[in-house]
């Protein structure tokens, strides 16, 4: 990949300190106009990038979420679906919005938006922290349907019910304290 895209910079962390820590580290290296998060497991298809870019390039959005629930997707685990529905409901209630997938990994930002958010999360709670802070600051968020090929625990999925409680706590903390 480095030979094909010489402008690409790969950053490795010596120690796994969580998704939030990795995202915060990566944001220090951003030089372009747009930022997208891509997990290495390819549950999310990079061919969807143009869908994410379009609302920003057309001036309609500052942030675009790829919604797993608006597009075709592999069947999710039942309790993950219930957890997502509940977290979306809480997010929409607390922040007066209508998101369908606040926990999506596929978020694309104007780089000035994401680089100026004071992010603190170290783990999976980075997702609700980002969502809460962009909504609280009034950024224009757009959702587009994406394809999704979810994994099960036997395939390496790591998120558990405990992460749902941490996400819920993060949503309330950001709403009433940050």
pLDDT in tens, 67-120: 988 876 666 678 888 888 999 999 999 999 999 999 998 999 999 999 999 999
Q: What is the mean pLDDT of residues 135-143?
A: 98
Domain 19-176 indexed as CATH 3.90.550.10: yes
Task: Identify any residues that bridge with 107 across adjacent strands, giving them in sequence order.
Answer: 65
Q: What is the mean pLDDT of residues 129-146?
A: 97
Domains of the chain: which residue ranges?
Answer: 19-176
Helix axes 126-136 and 161-176, enclosed angle (nearest 10): 30
CB within 8 Å of 29: residues ≥ 6 apart: 9, 11
Give the per-residue pLDDT at 151: 58
pLDDT in tens, 105-129: 899 999 999 999 999 999 999 999 9
Residue 106 CB: number of other CB atoms within 10 A? 26
């Amino acid at each position: 990949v480095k030979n094909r895209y010489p402008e690409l910079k790969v950053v490795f962390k010596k120690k796994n300190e969580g998704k939030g820590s990795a995202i915060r580290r990566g944001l220090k290296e951003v030089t372009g106009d747009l930022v997208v998060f891509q997990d290495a497991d390819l549950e999310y298809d990079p061919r969807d990038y143009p869908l994410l870019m379009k609302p920003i390039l057309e001036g309609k959005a500052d942030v675009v979420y790829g919604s797993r629930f608006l597009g075709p997707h592999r069947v999710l685990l039942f309790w993950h679906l219930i957890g997502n529905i509940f977290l979306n409901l809480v997010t929409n209630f607390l922040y007066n919005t209508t998101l369908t997938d606040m926990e999506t990994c596929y978020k694309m930002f104007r780089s000035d938006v994401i680089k100026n958010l004071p992010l603190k999360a170290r783990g999976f709670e980075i997702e609700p922290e980002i969502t809460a802070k962009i909504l609280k600051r009034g950024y224009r968020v757009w959702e587009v349907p994406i394809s999704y090929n979810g994994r099960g625990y036997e395939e390496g999925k790591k998120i558990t019910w405990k992460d749902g409680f941490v996400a819920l706590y993060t949503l309330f903390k950001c709403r009433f304290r940050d």
